[in-house]
Structures are given as C-alpha cells and as structure tokens.
C-alpha cells in the first residue's frame, strides 16, 4: 500500500466511548477490579437470595463456630459464626449491599454538592462567593478526614445515616477543588466566549457547556471516592460511631473482634478481607479509568 | 524568598479562623441542652442552671461568645473536661507525647522503607520489583488499618507471642517521664529492660500507623522519579560519563525528592487520623484514644479542645512543610 | 583517506517496538569522521539523525535495540568494550551537546557544580583547581561576567547562555570528537549565528572533529566540509559540501535544496514533495522515497537501493541525478 493511497482513505475515528473502553481494557488490574465491582453489585442485589441465612438470626447453639462444612445443629456455617451465633457468610453478603449503598449515597451527596459549589466558585472568580467557598474548603481540608468525620458524628450522634453525611462532608472539598479547577481551565477557552456571545445565560453555560467537559476527572474522583467512603464508614463503624448493631456493616462487625482475637480468628479476618477486596477493586477501577482518560484529557 | 514565606503565613490565618469557627459551631449544634452538654450534669436545680449559663457565658450574644472562646483558646484555656474536671489543655498535653512518639517512629519507618522502594520501582520499571512494590503499596492504602492492626496482633502477639498486645510498656517498669517519650526516657534512666519493653510495645503500632504513609510515599517517589529520569538533564549527565548510580542518586534524586517532601509533610495529617484507630486497637495512651473515649462519654469540652489542638498542629506542620519546600526548590530559593 | 577515521560507523540500525512490527529509527547507516573534520548530518524531524548520535554514544535505552557491524572510535571497538570503559569515553574523548539547553542542565545544581563534575569525572584534581578550570571554560565560551555566572543556577540563565554552559561542559576535557545535536534550533535567530561562530572557533582551537546535526541546510553550507543527508532513518546521500549544493545526486537532496526560501524567491509557494515521511506501518518495500519521488521508476518500487559510489559522492538511488557534465535526458 503506497503512502498516497493511505492518505486518500483515512480510517474512521472510533466513538469516544469505544476508545475509552479499549484503553481501559489494556490494564488487566483495572479490568479485574471492574469485574469484582460488578460481582459485588450482583451480591448486593441478590443478597436475599444468595445468603444462606438471615444476617440477624442468632443460632444460640453455634456461637463462635469455626468455618467448616460440617453442620452444627443441622446448619452449615461456611465461614463460621460470631459471638452471638450469627452466620458470618450471610452477614458479609448483606454487608455488601450496605457498603455499596454507603458509597453511592456519600459520593452522590458529595459529588452534587461539590460540583455545585465548584461551579459557583469558578464562575464567580475573584468575588466574595469564591473566597468564602474556597476558604471553607481549606478549613475542611485542614482536618484529616477521619477526624472531621468523627467530629461531625460526635455532633449528630452515632448511626449509619449520620456516618454517611459525615463522609459526604469530608469528601466535599475534593470535588469542589476539582470542579473549580476544571471550570477555570474551560472558561479560558474560546468555545465558552463564543457561547457567551451567542447570549447563553450563566446557568446554561454552567451546566450545558462547561460541565460536560469537566466530567472525566470527576468520574475518576467519584470512583476513588467510593473506596474512601467505604473505608471511612468501616472506621466509624469500628469505633462504634457508625452503623450500630445488629446492622451487618463490615466495620462494625470488627468492633467487637478484639475480644475474640485469641479464640476466633475468623471473626477478625473475614470482614476486614471483604473491605480490603472491595476497596482494592474500586481503587483499581478508578486508577484504570484515570489512566485511560488521561491521554484524552490532553486532547 | 521572604515574600514567599510571608504569603504562606498569611494564608494560614483565615484557615485558622475557620477552624475555630467550625469547632465553635459544632458544639452549638449538638442536639440537646448546651448547658447539660458542657457541664455533664443533668437534672439541675433552676438556680444552678442559671448560674452555669452565666459561667459558660451562654447568656451573651454569640459573637461575644465566639471572641471569648478564641481569646481563651489562644491563652491555652480550652475549658475543663466534663468527666475528669481537669483542664482540657493539660489532659491533651499529658497524652500528646505518646502520640508524637508513635507518629515519629511510624513516619521514620514509612520513609526508610517507602523512599528506597519507590526509587527501586522507578529504576527497575516494569519488572517484578516494580510490580511487587506497586502492588504492596496499593494493598497498603486499600486496607482498613484497624483490621491490619488486628491481623498483626493475631499473628505476632497471639500466634507467635513475640510482641505484647497493648500498652506502651510492661507494667513492672516505672520510668520517670522526663521527655514524655518512653524510648528516650528509658535510655536516660539507663534501664535496658525498660527500653526493650518500650520498643517491643512500639513496634507493631508503628508499623500499622506507618503503613498508609509508606504506601503513599512509595507511589509518589516512584512517579516523581520516573518523571525525572525522562528529563533532558539526566541524558546530559549520562553523556558526561556519569555512572548509573551517580545519575540516579545525585542528579535524579535531588530533583525527584522535591515533591516527595511535600507529600511526606502532608502525611502528618493522615498520621494523626490513623492514630485514632491505631491507639484504640493497641490501647496506646495517646490523644487518639483519648478523643474516642471523650466522644463515647459525651465529654464535649474535651472533644472540642482536642479537635482544635489537632487541627492547629496539622496547620502548623503544613506551614513548616510549605516553607521547607521553598528552601529546597532552587527556583524559589534563588529567585 | 591516508589516516584511519576517528569515528567509524558501519551498518548501524536502531529499532523500537516489537520485532516484526518495529519502527526502524535508524536503518543501515554507515559513515565515518576523520580527526578535525566537520561533518554535517541533515534531515527533517524523524529522519533518525539524533538517534544515530545517541546510538554512537551508547545512550539508546531499552526498548530500543542497537545493532551495528562496526562501531569504532579511534580504532577501538565501542560495542565490545566493557561499559565502564565506554562511559569513560563519554564526556572525555567524545562529547555531545543537545538541542534544548534550558532543560539539559540540572535545575538543582549550580553551573560551577555541573562544570566541575565533568572535570572530576575524567581528570580529577583539587576543588580549587577544578573551579579555576571551570571559570576559564566559561571565559572560553565567551560568557560575559563569568565570575558571577559561575555560581548561578540554570533558571537564572538565558537560552543562549545555557547553551554556552553546555558547550563549556562538553569541551572541558578536550574531546577529540564533539557531536552537536541541533545546537542552535532552540535559540533566538539573532543568537544562532553567534553560537555557530563560537562552535567553529572552538573546533579549530581544540582541533576537534565536529559532527553537526541540523535540519538547516544554510548552517551546513557555512560550516561543514562533508554532509550526510538522511531520510526516514537511512543515509540517502553523502557528499562534500560545496558539491552537494551545486550537484545533488539524490532526488531527496534536490528536493531539500529546492525548498529553501532563497531558491524560491518570487514564488508564492515553496516547492515541496507531496506526501509524508513513512512511519512504522507504511514503510515501502522498495526505495523509501519512491511514493513521493518525482523521478520514480518501476525498479524503485520493488528493490531497496544500496548506497552507491558515484564519482564525488555516494547516493542511495538506482537513477541518481545527472551531474552538470552529463547531458542525459530525463523521462
């Protein structure tokens, strides 16, 4: 094939979504992570069907049973039971649903609030609105995330819902900064000036024109936000400030584990393993997304 | 150079004001009666109730209360603990050295292992070395550290019996707290047994606390190093005949470390947050454990004071790191 | 030549990428440089001229693969040499300066440090002696206010001054061969002439062989004694300098000359060849220029031409352009 012929018939450019998937697919770790996330979603949706027992049902004659295939009192506890006889496998499966919900709620709240604030801050550059918002974000960032979450929960009171609000607040500054940064970058470009000249209102500019172009880094941050939300929720649960018993949240399952560390290692190891694998999966997916989107961000 | 310094300090002021506002507001937001919350007393007589309101200044306008609060805070008066009736400030300072000792050792571990790991991963890019360092690092910051602590306790204390489960030093040792740092004090007391005991109590919590900073430092060093190794001046150094070691250790590292220093400094915040969890697991008598207990016991004065102190310390450390960055980066130093 | 060449390169190839689908950055390049000679290597971006120089110095890293039948300096086989010995040549007997001086100096170290380092690596000496040498070198490259500049940091220097510092580092140990890769491209036009003149002065004073890599034919005309013209990784013509300008034998050399602004006075468009340089995936089976060559014939598409010896030069063409002496009609 001569060069002349090659110039004459340029290959059709693939759709951006296909290109993104292709770039993503090259990273094996990211694909594995995404696969695991999908698996988790299945577990969460089908928890009632898959889990052998109810997560709060206590089997009094089988407390702290070891993981095994041999039934105790007619019931098989594949991953053992905890100190009041609840099946750990069932609790872990139902806990998946909780973890995903925690991630979803916290990230959604944080994302929507953060994007809104970021847009306002970016569009009102140099004015009081921007200054107040960004200084408020600085204050939130000055505190380490767990400390801030603990402070918020200390005020609101322990509980899963309050934990989710606290985590959403903790993640807020990251979304605000990201959005504002992206907005400032986009505002300098010509297409925005063109839109303004055409008479677009600020709101329309914000949502229709600028925001779609900032989507990529926000998506990456949201995915990684899932993992920090799950970790923080688990930490709060562990400290007794998040999900309260008998809720099968993985972190609170570890709260009483210290007592049984000598007698029942499975109570200690398994919930934490679930957290690790889930967070790992989200991190791998988020990293993969970031690497796949990166060259795109430059075009 | 000086304008850089002053600008940094100036930026800190509004943040500090914001923190005081935040902490001040938080306590006012607690559901329930503020008098009960601040005093810990319930079912008081009406007379006592009014007296307490006056004592706590709750009858004055909010801005005045706030100003009063900040003024007192700047003088080290953070109120009195509801439970122990001791000044919050001295409660904090009594436990602070334990946390500092733990954090310092944790950070030393993180840097001592993370930095070389990141360098090796960068120099041996895309080899087994690289993948294992990056894999370990990814696992490190994907783990809940309280679980990691439990695992280590399970393995080293319960199964192997090598390390103790909790506390700072075995009960039989009574070391005079000169510096507040058990390792230093036991050396000063020339008590080798005590030193060994302190060390064995310190090692697991330090590993647990240092894990996330280690992971972050390794990652950051690797990416910084990779970027630097691609630079033209590295090619120039090789064209001058410098050997591999010299190119990496002197030409590349000096530049690669600049962003890493900032990251190390920022990890201090992460350390204090991690301390909350680590101290709880290992019953380490530091401010993290104290804060969690205060929350459980509704000791709001202590919670308020603890958060303010912690935030102030973090802001201070970040300021120092910022200035240090200006010193290291030749573009700013020789502007 | 009566004397053996200082640098002898025979059949050098550099490949990147998977074997089979590799990019041939340098394809069967052969040339030699004699002591004190000034040789120009000319070509557009991507022609492989920089990679050739890096390969000679041994600075091409994996995933690049360097192969050569012979790569010798002063009769010594560079490929067979232990790495340490080869490294001692770099900066000592063979030196190189690069295109962008602003990024080629280490921003964290002073000029003095970087100059003294070169001296320390090859000659040693006390700190005081090396510092005195460094100062002298700065003066040799005509940097004004050398005393003060000695302790400056790279971000405090302009482009022209940075390049002079690079030059000072290069000549510090009296190299016998200096390779300059586009030394003036990143500089202001007003400084380019100065830099070239300085380069030549130093070359004569130190008796160095100079390999000047450039895309600018004007520079070659002024400075070089011989020139290599490269295209798509191959050498397509080697000739003496006045000769190649008057009588290019390869169609690509002719096209390069024809596109010079000086030769297009009064025209509205610069003359150029249609098409683009072949990349990794559309390399022609025959002559690499065939898809674009105005004189292409059937044989050109099927066979790869070798570098043929002509009277006064060598050209990689089955049908080299006629000299003025020949009057053969062209189809």
Report B:12-31 residues touching A (Cβ under 8 A): 14-15, 18-19, 21-23, 26-27, 29-31
d(CA C47, CA C52): 10
Note the pLDDT of residue C329: 57
Q: Specify the pLDDT at position B6.
A: 82
Residues A18-62 pLDDT 10s? 777 877 887 788 889 999 999 999 988 888 888 888 888 888 887
> How confident is the model over C66-86, as a mean pLDDT?
88
A283-293: pLDDT as tens digits: 999 888 888 87
Q: Cα–Cα distance between A108 and A104 in angstroms, integer?
A: 6
Closest CA to C53 of C26, C24, C21, C84: C26
Partners for B (CB, 8 Å, 3+ pairs)? Answer: A, C
Average pLDDT over residues A172-192: 83
Would the pLDDT of A296 be above 80?
Answer: no
CA distances from C241 to C34, C39, C202, C205 (A): 15, 9, 21, 22
CA distance A77 to A89: 7
Q: Do A2 and C284 touch (CB under 8 A)?
A: yes
Q: How far is C279 from chain A (nearest CA, A)?
A: 10
Tell if the CB–CB gap between C106 and B233 is shorter than 8 Å.
Answer: yes
Residue A220 and residue A213: Cα distance in Å, rounded? 14
**Inter-axis angle of helices B62-74 and B2-29, nearest 10:** 130
Residue C65 confidence (pLDDT) above 50 = yes
* pLDDT above 70 coverage of chain C, percent: 97
Asked if residue A186 has a cis previous peptide bond (ω within 30° of 0), the answer is no
Structural contact between residues A159 and A246, judged by C-beta atoms closer than 8 angstroms:
no
Q: What is the DSSP letter of B174?
A: -
Q: Which residue has the higher pLDDT, C15 or A71?
A: C15
Is residue A4 pLDDT above 50, yes or no?
A: no
Closest approach of B40 to chain C, Cα-based (Å): 58
How buried is B245 (Cβ within 10 angstroms: 0-12 exposed, 13-18 middle, 19+ buried)?
A: exposed
> Does B236 sit within 8 Å of C117, measured CB to CB?
no
Q: Does C46 touch chain A (CB under 8 A)?
A: no
Between positions 89 and 148 of C, the ones with CB within 8 A of B are 89-92, 95-96, 98, 100, 103-109, 117-118, 121-122
Give CA–CA dist B142/B153, Å, rounded: 19
Considering all CA atoms of chain C, what is the largest pairwise distance in Å, rounded to the nearest integer? Answer: 70
Average pLDDT over residues A187-203: 78
Chain C interface, best mutation among B126, B227, B240, B328, by max C CB count within 10 A: B240
Please report the pLDDT score of residue A277 as a whole number: 94
Query: Chain A residues with CB-CB distance to C under 8 A?
Result: 1-4, 6-7
Sign of torsion, CA C155 C157 C163 C166? negative
ipTM above 0.90, yes or no: no
Distances (CA, A) of C9 to A43, C36, C56, C246: 65, 17, 8, 27
pLDDT-derived band at A5, boundaries 50, 70, 90 = very low
Q: What pLDDT is recorded for position B104?
A: 92
The candidate with the shortest Cα–Cα distance to B208, out of A272, A271, A153, is A272
Region of B230 (left: φ > 0; alpha: ψ -120 to 50; beta: rest) is alpha
The nearest CA of chain A is from the CA of C291 a distance in Å of: 6
Of B240, B251, B330, the CB nearest to C121: B240
The rounded mean pLDDT for chain A is 82
**Which chain C residue shows the shortest CA-CA distance from B257?**
C108
Q: How many CB atoms lie within 10 A of CB A28?
A: 10
When scoring B29, B144, B308, B314 by the number of chain A Cβ atoms within 10 A, the one with the most, hence best to mutate, is B144
| Residue A276 touches partner B, C-beta closer than 8 Å | yes
Contacts of C274 in chain A (CB under 8 A): 4
Q: Which of C322, C278, C317, C324 is nearest to C300 (CA)?
A: C317
Inter-residue contact C179 to C94 (CB < 8 Å): yes
Contact B274, B212 (CB under 8 A): yes
pLDDT of res. C134:
92
Of C57, C89, C108, the CB nearest to B330: C108
Tell if the CB–CB gap between B295 and A241 is shorter than 8 Å. Answer: yes
Q: How confident is the model at residue C328 (pLDDT cuts 50, 70, 90)?
A: low
Q: Cβ of C98 and B237 within 8 Å?
A: no
The string of DSSP letters for C219-247 reads: HHHHH-SEEEEEETTEEEEEEEHHHHHH-
User: CA nearest B332 in C: which residue?
Assistant: C155
Distant-in-sequence contacts of B132-140, Cβ < 8 A, 24+ apart: B133/B218, B133/B222, B134/B218, B134/B219, B134/B222, B136/B215, B136/B218, B137/B214, B137/B215, B137/B216, B137/B218, B137/B219, B138/A280, B138/A283, B138/A284, B138/B215, B139/A276, B139/A280, B139/B215, B140/B211, B140/B212, B140/B214, B140/B215
Q: Can you tell me which residue has the tokens 């079912």?
A: B43
Q: Between A219 and C4, where is the model more confident? A: A219
Whether residue A268 contacts residue A238, with contact meaning beta carbons closer than 8 Å, is answered with no
CA distances from C83 to B250, B329, C15 (A): 20, 34, 21
Chain B contact present for A239, CB below 8 A: yes
Structure confidence by residue, pLDDT tens digits, A67-122: 877 787 777 888 888 888 888 888 889 999 999 999 999 999 999 999 999 888 88
B245 touches chain C (CB under 8 A): no
Quick check: A133 and A124 in contact, CB under 8 A? Answer: no
User: Given this model, what pLDDT does residue A2 score?
Assistant: 44
Which one of C101, C104, C180 makes the best mutation probe of the B interface by having the most chain B beta carbons within 10 Å?
A: C104
pLDDT for the residue numbered A138: 83
Tell me what the mean pLDDT of segment C247-261 comes to: 86
pLDDT band of A3, cuts 50, 70, 90 = very low
Residues of chain A neighbouring B276 (CB-CB closer than 8 A): 146-147, 150, 239
Helix (H) or strand (E) holding A121: helix A88-123
Measured distance CA(B310)–CA(C132) in Å, rounded = 54
- DSSP β-bridge partners for residue A87: A81
Tell which wins on pLDDT, A242 or C281: A242
Listed as ranges, residues in chain B with pLDDT below 70 are 1, 37-38, 40, 332, 334-335
CB contact under 8 A, B232 and C59: no
Give B 316-335 residues with CB within 8 A of chain A. 318
Q: Which residue has tokens 């220097």?
A: C157
Cross-chain residue pair B30–A284, CB shorter than 8 Å: no
User: Is the minimum CB–CB distance between C169 and chain B shorter than 8 Å?
Assistant: yes
Q: Which residues of A156-177 are buried (b: 16+ CB within 10 A; e: fewer)?
A: bebbbebbbbbbbbbbbbbbbb
Q: What pLDDT is attached to residue A295?
A: 59
Contact across the interface for C276 and A7, Cβ inside 8 Å: yes
What is the pLDDT at residue A7?
A: 43
Long-range contacts of B172-179 (CB under 8 A, 24+ apart): B173/B197, B173/B198, B177/B97, B179/B97
The per-residue pLDDT for range B37-67, each reduced to its tens digit, is 667 677 777 888 888 777 777 777 878 888 8
How far lies C122's CA from each of A41, A139, C59, C207, in Å?
A: 64, 55, 18, 19
Query: With 90 as the cut, is the pLDDT of residue C96 above it?
Result: yes
Q: In this structure, what token pair is assigned to residue A201?
A: 């209102």
Q: Which of residues 263-292 of C touch A (CB under 8 A)?
A: 274-276, 278, 282, 284, 291-292
Q: How confident is the model at residue A242 (pLDDT cuts 50, 70, 90)?
A: confident
Among A125-139, C120-134, C292-306, name the most confident range. C120-134
User: Could you give the count of Cα atoms lying within 13 Å of B271 in the half-sphere of its Cβ?
Assistant: 30
Task: For B235-288, write each residue's pLDDT tens digit.
Answer: 999 999 888 888 988 899 888 888 888 788 878 888 888 898 999 888 899 999
- Predicted local confidence at residue A172, as pLDDT: 92
* Mutant choice from C231, C275, C280, C285 vs A, greatest count of A C-beta within 10 A: C275
Shortest distance, CA B121 to any CA of chain C (angstroms) = 16
A238 touches chain B (CB under 8 A): yes
Beta strands C23-33; C38-42: pairing state: unpaired
pLDDT computed for residue A38 by the predictor: 93
In B, minimum Cα distance to C110 occurs at: B330
Of B233, B243, B258, the CB nearest to C105: B233
* pTM of the complete model: 0.83
Most confident of A246-255, B19-28, C207-216: C207-216
pLDDT of residue C216: 83
In chain B, residues 253-312 whose CB comes closer than 8 Å to chain C: 254-255, 258
Answer yes or no: do C291 and A2 touch at CB < 8 A: yes
Query: Average pLDDT of chain C?
Result: 87
B235 inside 8 A of chain C by CB = yes
- Residue A153: list chain B partners with CB under 8 A: 295
Q: Which of A136, A152, A272 sits opposite B150 (nearest CB)?
A: A272
What's the confidence (pLDDT) of residue A299? 28
């Amino acid at each position: 094939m001569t060069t002349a012929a090659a110039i004459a018939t340029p290959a059709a450019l693939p759709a951006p979504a296909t290109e993104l998937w292709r770039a993503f697919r090259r990273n094996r770790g990211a694909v594995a992570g995404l696969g695991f996330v999908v698996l988790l979603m299945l577990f969460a949706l089908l928890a009632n069907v898959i889990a052998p027992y109810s997560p709060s049902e206590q089997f009094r004659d089988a407390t702290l049973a070891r993981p095994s295939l041999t039934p105790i009192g007619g019931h098989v506890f594949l991953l053992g039971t905890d100190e009041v006889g609840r099946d750990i496998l069932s609790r872990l499966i139902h806990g998946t649903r909780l973890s995903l919900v925690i991630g979803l709620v916290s990230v959604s709240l944080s994302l929507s609030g953060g994007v809104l604030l970021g847009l306002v801050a970016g569009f009102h550059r140099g004015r009081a609105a921007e200054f107040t918002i960004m200084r408020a974000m600085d204050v939130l960032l000055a505190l380490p995330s767990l400390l801030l979450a603990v402070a918020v929960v200390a005020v609101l009171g322990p509980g899963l819902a309050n934990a989710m609000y606290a985590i959403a607040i903790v993640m807020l500054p990251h979304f605000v900064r990201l959005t504002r940064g992206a907005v400032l970058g986009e505002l300098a470009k010509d297409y925005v000036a063109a839109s303004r000249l055409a008479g677009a209102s600020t709101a329309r500019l914000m949502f229709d024109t600028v925001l779609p172009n900032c989507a990529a880094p926000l998506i990456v941050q949201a995915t990684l936000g899932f993992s920090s939300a799950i970790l923080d929720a688990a930490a709060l649960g562990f400290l007794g400030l998040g999900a309260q018993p008998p809720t099968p949240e993985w972190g609170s399952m570890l709260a009483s584990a210290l007592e049984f560390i000598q007698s029942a290692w499975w109570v200690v190891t398994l919930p934490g393993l679930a957290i690790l694998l889930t967070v790992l999966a989200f991190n791998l997916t988020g990293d993969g997304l970031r690497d796949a989107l990166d060259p795109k961000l430059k075009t | 150079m000086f304008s850089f310094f002053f600008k940094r300090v100036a930026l800190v002021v509004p943040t500090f004001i914001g923190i005081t506002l935040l902490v001040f507001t938080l306590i006012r937001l607690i559901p329930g009666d503020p008098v009960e919350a601040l005093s810990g007393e319930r079912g008081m007589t009406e007379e006592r109730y009014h007296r307490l309101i006056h004592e706590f200044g709750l009858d004055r306008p909010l801005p005045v209360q706030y100003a009063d609060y900040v003024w007192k805070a700047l003088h080290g008066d953070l109120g009195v603990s509801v439970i122990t009736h001791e000044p919050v400030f001295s409660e904090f300072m009594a436990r602070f050295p334990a946390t500092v000792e733990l954090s310092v050792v944790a950070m030393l571990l993180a840097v001592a292992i993370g930095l070389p790991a990141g360098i090796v991963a960068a120099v041996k890019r895309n080899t087994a070395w690289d993948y294992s360092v990056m894999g370990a690092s990814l696992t490190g910051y994907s783990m809940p550290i309280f679980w990691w602590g439990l695992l280590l306790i399970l393995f080293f204390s319960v199964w192997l019996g090598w390390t103790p489960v909790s506390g700072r030093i075995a009960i039989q040792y009574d070391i005079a707290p000169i510096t507040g740092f058990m390792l230093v004090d036991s050396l000063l007391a020339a008590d080798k047994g005590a030193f060994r005991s302190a060390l064995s109590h310190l090692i697991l919590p330090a590993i647990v606390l240092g894990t996330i900073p280690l992971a972050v430092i390794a990652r950051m060093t690797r990416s910084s190093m990779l970027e630097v190794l691609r630079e033209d001046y590295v090619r120039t150094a090789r064209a001058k005949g410098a050997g591999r070691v010299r190119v990496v250790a002197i030409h590349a590292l000096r530049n690669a470390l600049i962003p890493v220093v900032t990251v190390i400094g920022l990890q201090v915040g992460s350390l204090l947050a991690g301390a909350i969890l680590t101290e709880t697991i290992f019953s380490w008598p530091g401010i993290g454990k104290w804060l969690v207990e205060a929350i459980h016991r509704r000791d709001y004065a202590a919670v308020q004071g603890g958060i303010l102190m912690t935030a102030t310390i973090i802001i201070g450390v970040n300021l120092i790191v910022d200035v240090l960055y200006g010193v290291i980066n030749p573009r700013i130093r020789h502007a | 030549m009566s004397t053996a060449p200082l640098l002898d390169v025979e059949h050098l190839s550099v490949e990147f990428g998977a074997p089979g689908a590799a990019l041939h950055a340098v394809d069967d390049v052969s040339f030699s440089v004699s002591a004190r000679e000034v040789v120009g290597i000319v070509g557009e971006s991507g022609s492989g001229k920089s990679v050739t120089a890096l390969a000679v110095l041994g600075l091409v890293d994996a995933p690049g693969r360097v192969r050569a039948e012979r790569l010798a300096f002063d009769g010594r086989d560079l490929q067979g040499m232990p790495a340490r010995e080869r490294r001692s040549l770099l900066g000592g007997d063979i030196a190189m300066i690069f295109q962008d001086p602003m990024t080629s100096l280490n921003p964290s170290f002073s000029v003095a440090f970087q100059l003294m380092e070169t001296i320390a690596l090859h000659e040693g000496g006390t700190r005081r002696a090396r510092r005195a040498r460094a100062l002298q070198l700065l003066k040799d490259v005509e940097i004004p206010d050398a005393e003060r500049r000695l302790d400056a940091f790279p971000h405090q220097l302009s482009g022209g001054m940075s390049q002079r510092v690079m030059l000072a580092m290069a000549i510090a140990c009296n190299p016998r061969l200096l390779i300059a890769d586009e030394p003036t491209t990143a500089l202001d036009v007003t400084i380019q002439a100065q830099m070239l003149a300085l380069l030549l002065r130093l070359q004569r004073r130190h008796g160095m062989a100079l390999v000047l890599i450039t895309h600018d034919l004007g520079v070659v005309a002024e400075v070089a004694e011989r020139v290599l013209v490269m295209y798509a990784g191959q050498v397509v013509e080697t000739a003496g300098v006045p000769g190649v300008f008057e009588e290019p034998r390869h169609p690509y050399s002719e096209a390069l000359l024809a596109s010079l602004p000086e030769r297009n006075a009064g025209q509205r468009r610069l003359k150029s060849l249609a098409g683009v340089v072949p990349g990794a995936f559309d390399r022609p089976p025959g002559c690499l220029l065939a898809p674009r060559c105005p004189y292409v014939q059937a044989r050109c598409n099927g066979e790869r031409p070798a570098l043929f010896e002509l009277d006064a030069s060598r050209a990689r063409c089955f049908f080299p352009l006629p000299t003025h002496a020949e009057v053969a009609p062209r189809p």
